[in-house]
Structure 1
Amino acid sequence: MFDQQAGLERVLARHRDAIVVEPVPGRPALIRRDQLLVAGPDAAAAEDLVRRWCDRREDGAGVARLLLRAPARPDVCELAAELGGDGPHRRLAVAPNHLVHGQPMWWSGPADRPRPAGPVPAPRPAADACRDVTVAILDTGLSPHPWYADADWFREQGEEDAETLDADLDRELDPQAGHGTFVAGVVLRHAPTARLRARRVLGGDGVGDELGVIRALARLADRDHADVVNLSLGCHTYDDRPSPVLARAIAALGRRTVVVACAGNAGGDRPFWPAALKPVIGVAALDGDDRAWFSNYGWWVDAAAPGVDVASSFVRFDGPRPPVDGADPDRFDGFATWSGTSFATPMVAGLIAGMAASEGLSAVTAAERILDQKNRPTHPDLGVIIRS
C-alpha cells in the first residue's frame, strides 16, 4: 500500500506554498498558504473586511484571489469561516484555495501507477449520432493519440492544454502524467462521437488548486459550452463543507450541463468535493461486484462504476528502468491499464454523452436515464450500480 505520509511530503516539497490544515483532528486538508478565494461579486466586500491583512487582490474570470501578507500570519481558515458565516446560509462566498489532487493514493485520482498495456480497440460508433455532444475534461491535459489525432476538435486544442510528461526532467514519467489522456479514452470508448475539450488544471504530479479549476469552469460557462464536464479530481475541505466559490462556478455552467466527479480514493466516507455537491454526480469505483477497496463511499455518492484495471489510451514514453523478464515496466506505447475512481468517473460521463448523442437527448435527460434507480441496482453507500 502506498505510504500516504510519504505522498504528502512529496506534495509539500514540490509545492512550497502548500500547507496542511487540520481544524478537526484526523480530518486534514491541503491549502495554499495566505490565499483566499472570493466569488467575483463578493470580492470588494471581502477585501475591505480583511484589508488589515491583505497585500493585494487579483481579479479573474469567476473568482478573485486575495493574497494576504505573510508576516501578519493570518489564519485563512478562520478568516474564511468568519467571512462566510457558520450558519447554513453563508454571507460571502469565501474559501481557502484548497489543493485538488490526482496523485496516486493521495485523496483522489488514480489508486496506483499506470501499467503498460497492449493496443486497445479504437472506439467505433454503432450508428450516426443524432446530435453533437461536447465533453469537457478538466485534468492534466491531452496528448496526441491515434484514436483522435485526426479529429477537428483535437486540432483546436491549444498548446497550453497539452500534457507535460516529465516536468522535473528526471527521465521518469511524472506520477500522473497521462491521466487526462487516459480519461479522454475512457470517455470515447462510451461516446465515440463526442467532441472533447481538454483543459489542463493539474500538473504531471497530479496536483492543482481550486483557483485553476474555477477559472477553467468560468471559461466553459462564458464561451466554451459543454454538455458534460468530467472532473476526475477533488479534495477534502478544511471544514468538510463545500467551497462556496467552487459551488458557484459549477452552478454558473447552467442547468443544461451535467457535471460528473470522482468520489476519491481514501477508502472512507468523508465528503469529497466537488463530487459531494448536490448538483454533481459523484462516482465511486467498483471491483467486480464489490466496492473497490480504495474507493470512497457514503450518502453523497450517486453512482459506482468499474474502476480497477481499466484499459484506455495513454501517452508514449520510455523511462530508464530496464526490462524484467522481457517486459519493460516503464515503456508506454499509447495504452495502459490503471485503477481509481478517476477512471470510473469518465465511464459514467461517457455513457451520458453517448446516450445524448445517439438518441438526440439533452445531457440532463440522458443522465436521468443512466441513473434511473428503477432500471439499475442500487447500494446505500454507492448509489446506482453501473456496469455498462
Structure 2
Amino acid sequence: MLDQEARLERLLVRHRDAMVVEPVPGRRTLVRRDQVLVSGRDAGAAQSLVRRWCDGREDEPGATRLRLRPSAKVDVCELAAQLSGGGRHRTLSVSPNHLVHGQPMWWSGPADRPRPAPPLPAPVAAGARRDVTVAILDTGLSPHPWYEDTAWFREQRDEVAEVLDADLDLELDAQAGHGTFIAGVILRHAPTAELRALRVIGGDGVGDELEVIRALTRLASWGRADVVNISLGCHTFDDRPSPVLARAIAALGRRTVVVACAGNTASERPFWPAAMKPVIGVAALDGDDRAWFSNYGWWVDACAPGVDVASTHVWFDGPRAPSGGTDADRFEGYATWSGTSFAAPAVAGRIAGLAAAEGLDAPSAADRVLDPARCHTLPDLGVLISS
C-alpha cells in the first residue's frame, strides 16, 4: 500500500493538473482538474449551461474541451453528472477528462517493470489472402529488426518514436517500450500485418481520455484500421462508460474490431474502454488460471497469457552496474513483461492473423476466434485464447 501511494504521489507531481476523485469510498480514479469533455454536437448546449464558470473552449477532433476557471472550484464529476441529465438516461454526452494508464502500471494496483530477455526469432510471414492493418494506441514505436525495414514503419517512424527517458534521470521510464512490446506480440500472431502506431500515453504510462479520442478520430478519418489494440484504460468516476469516448469508438464503424485490456486492479470493477459493449475486453492468464493482478467479471470477453510474456523491446542501458553476470537495466531489443496490456494484443493479433490468412473481414475473424461453441470459456474471463 505504501508503494502504491508513493507511485500515486509521484504521478501527481509529474502531472500537476491531475487530481484524485473518490465519489464512492474505495472507488478512486484520476481526472484532469477543471476540464470537461463534450461530444461535438452537444458542445454548444453544454457551454451555455456552464458559462458562469467557463474559462475557454477548445474544439478538438472528436470532442470539445471546456476549461473551467480554477477559482470557481467546480467539482468536474458532479458537473458532468448534472450536464448529462442526472439520471440513468443521459441527455448530453459529457465526461470529466479521465486519466488513462497503460497496464502493467496502475497507481492503485500492482506494478510490473520489464526485464531484459535474450533475442527471439522473428516471426515468419506466410502467405496472406489479404492485407490487414492493426492500429496500436500506446507509447509509440521504436525501431526494431522485426519491422524497421518495412514500408509501413518507415512512413511513421519519426512521428511515433518512443520517448525513453523523459525526466532525464538516466533510468528507462516506467512504461517506455510498452508500444514496441505490444507490436511484437501482435506480429507473433499476425506476421503479415501492417501496424499503425498512435502515441496517446507517455513513457510513464499516463495519458488522458482526450488523447485517446483524438487518436480514434484520426483512425476513423483514415478508415483503414481492421483491428485496434488499446492496452490502457481507467476506471470512471461513476463506473459508467464515458459517453464521449464511446462515441469516438462507435465512429470507427462496424468493420473495425477494437480490443482492450481488462486492467490490473485484481477486481471486477468495470475498466474502460474494455468494458464497453463494442469492445473486446481481455483479461490475463497465469498458466491455466487468472493472473492474480488481472481484472475479471461479466464484462470480460476473453483471456490470454499475460505473465512473463516475451516480446520486442527498446535498446537502453541504465545506470546500474552488472551484478552476478547480469545487467538488470540493459535492454537489447527484447524483454519479458506481465500485465493485461500484453494479453490484449495476443487476441488482437490472433484476429488479425486469421483475417489475413483466410481473407476474412475483421468482425468475421473475431467471431471465429471468440466463438464459445468452438473454444473453452472460463467464468468471468470469457473465451480462453491460448499462446
Give the TM-score band, short-chain normalised. over 0.9
User: Match for 2:43: what amino acid?
Assistant: A
Structure-to-structure mapping, 1:183-198, within 5 angstroms: 183-198=182-197
Q: 1:264 to 1:278 in 2, by over 3 A?
A: same
Match of 2:64 in 1: 64
Distance (whole Å) between structure 2 residues aligned to residue 74 and residue 88 of structure 1: 22
User: Match for 1:75: what amino acid?
Assistant: D
User: Match for 1:216: what amino acid?
Assistant: A
Q: 1:165 to 1:80 in 2, by over 3 A?
A: same
- Quick check: 279-288 or 82-91, which moved more? 82-91
User: Match for 1:28: what amino acid?
Assistant: R
State TM-score, norm by structure 1: 0.98
Match of 1:87 in 2: 87
State TM-score, norm by structure 2: 0.98
Unaligned runs of 5+ in 2: none
Distance (whole Å) between structure 1 residues aligned to residue 6 and residue 352 of structure 2: 38
Q: Is the 8 A contact 2:134 2:226 kept in 1?
A: yes
SS in 2 for 1:52: coil
Match of 1:277 in 2: 276
Distance (whole Å) between structure 2 residues aligned to residue 224 and residue 178 of structure 1: 27
Match of 1:50 in 2: 50
User: Match for 2:48: what amino acid?
Assistant: D
- Quick check: 62-71 or 222-231, which moved more? 222-231
SS in 2 for 1:305: strand
Unaligned runs of 5+ in 1: none
Match of 1:264 in 2: 263
Distance (whole Å) between structure 1 residues aligned to residue 317 and residue 157 of structure 2: 25
Q: Is the 8 A contact 1:103 1:205 kept in 2?
A: no
Match of 1:24 in 2: 24
User: Match for 2:84: what amino acid?
Assistant: G
Q: Is the 8 A contact 2:105 2:175 kept in 1?
A: no
Distance (whole Å) between structure 2 residues aligned to residue 88 and residue 132 of structure 1: 42
Q: Is the 8 A contact 1:108 1:264 kept in 2?
A: no
Match of 1:332 in 2: 331
For residue 160 of structure 1, report the CA deviation from its aligned partner.
Answer: 3.1
For residue 86 of structure 1, report the CA deviation from its aligned partner.
Answer: 3.3
* Residue 121 (structure 1) aligned with residue 125 (structure 2): no
* Residue 96 (structure 1) aligned with residue 115 (structure 2): no
Q: Is the 8 A contact 1:2 1:105 kept in 2?
A: no
For residue 7 of structure 1, report the CA deviation from its aligned partner.
Answer: 1.4
SS in 1 for 2:282: strand
* Residue 171 (structure 1) aligned with residue 170 (structure 2): yes
Instruction: State the 4+ residue runs in structure 1 displaced beyond 6 angstroms.
Output: none
What percent identity do the matched residue pairs reach? 76
Distance (whole Å) between structure 1 residues aligned to residue 42 and residue 221 of structure 2: 19
For residue 225 of structure 1, report the CA deviation from its aligned partner.
Answer: 2.4
For residue 85 of structure 1, report the CA deviation from its aligned partner.
Answer: 2.0
For residue 161 of structure 1, report the CA deviation from its aligned partner.
Answer: 1.4
CA RMSD of aligned residues (A): 1.4
Distance (whole Å) between structure 1 residues aligned to residue 107 and residue 284 of structure 2: 14
- Quick check: 72-81 or 96-105, which moved more? 96-105
Q: Is the 8 A contact 2:136 2:230 kept in 1?
A: yes
User: How many residues get paired?
Assistant: 387
SS in 2 for 1:51: coil
Distance (whole Å) between structure 2 residues aligned to residue 58 and residue 353 of structure 1: 36
Distance (whole Å) between structure 1 residues aligned to residue 346 and residue 109 of structure 2: 14
Q: 1:108 to 1:136 in 2, by over 3 A?
A: farther
Q: 1:107 to 1:269 in 2, by over 3 A?
A: farther
* Residue 15 (structure 1) aligned with residue 15 (structure 2): yes
SS in 2 for 1:83: helix
Distance (whole Å) between structure 2 residues aligned to residue 384 and residue 159 of structure 1: 38
Structure 1 residues 198-223: Cα deviation after superposition (integer angstroms, max 9, x where no partner): 00000000000000000000000012
Distance (whole Å) between structure 1 residues aligned to residue 364 and residue 141 of structure 2: 28
Distance (whole Å) between structure 2 residues aligned to residue 13 and residue 304 of structure 1: 35
Q: Is the 8 A contact 1:233 1:261 kept in 2?
A: yes
Structure-to-structure mapping, 1:185-264, within 5 angstroms: 185-264=184-263
Q: Is the 8 A contact 1:38 1:93 kept in 2?
A: yes
Q: 1:35 to 1:201 in 2, by over 3 A?
A: same
Distance (whole Å) between structure 2 residues aligned to residue 2 and residue 227 of structure 1: 42
Match of 1:287 in 2: 286
User: Match for 1:113: what amino acid?
Assistant: R
Distance (whole Å) between structure 2 residues aligned to residue 276 and residue 375 of structure 1: 23
Q: Is the 8 A contact 1:110 1:338 kept in 2?
A: no
Structure 1 residues 7-32: Cα deviation after superposition (integer angstroms, max 9, x where no partner): 11111110000000000000001000
For residue 224 of structure 1, report the CA deviation from its aligned partner.
Answer: 4.6
Q: 1:28 to 1:108 in 2, by over 3 A?
A: closer
Q: Is the 8 A contact 1:104 1:175 kept in 2?
A: no
User: Match for 1:36: what amino acid?
Assistant: V
Match of 1:140 in 2: 139
Structure 1 residues 211-255: Cα deviation after superposition (integer angstroms, max 9, x where no partner): 000000000001252000000000000000000000000000000
Q: 1:267 to 1:364 in 2, by over 3 A?
A: same
For residue 108 of structure 1, report the CA deviation from its aligned partner.
Answer: 9.0
* Residue 354 (structure 1) aligned with residue 353 (structure 2): yes
For residue 188 of structure 1, report the CA deviation from its aligned partner.
Answer: 0.3
Distance (whole Å) between structure 1 residues aligned to residue 100 and residue 173 of structure 2: 17
User: Match for 2:342: what amino acid?
Assistant: F
For residue 105 of structure 1, report the CA deviation from its aligned partner.
Answer: 4.0
For residue 109 of structure 1, report the CA deviation from its aligned partner.
Answer: 10
Distance (whole Å) between structure 2 residues aligned to residue 153 and residue 356 of structure 1: 19
Distance (whole Å) between structure 2 residues aligned to residue 107 and residue 304 of structure 1: 23
Distance (whole Å) between structure 2 residues aligned to residue 158 and residue 138 of structure 1: 15
Distance (whole Å) between structure 1 residues aligned to residue 105 and residue 80 of structure 2: 28
SS in 2 for 1:159: coil
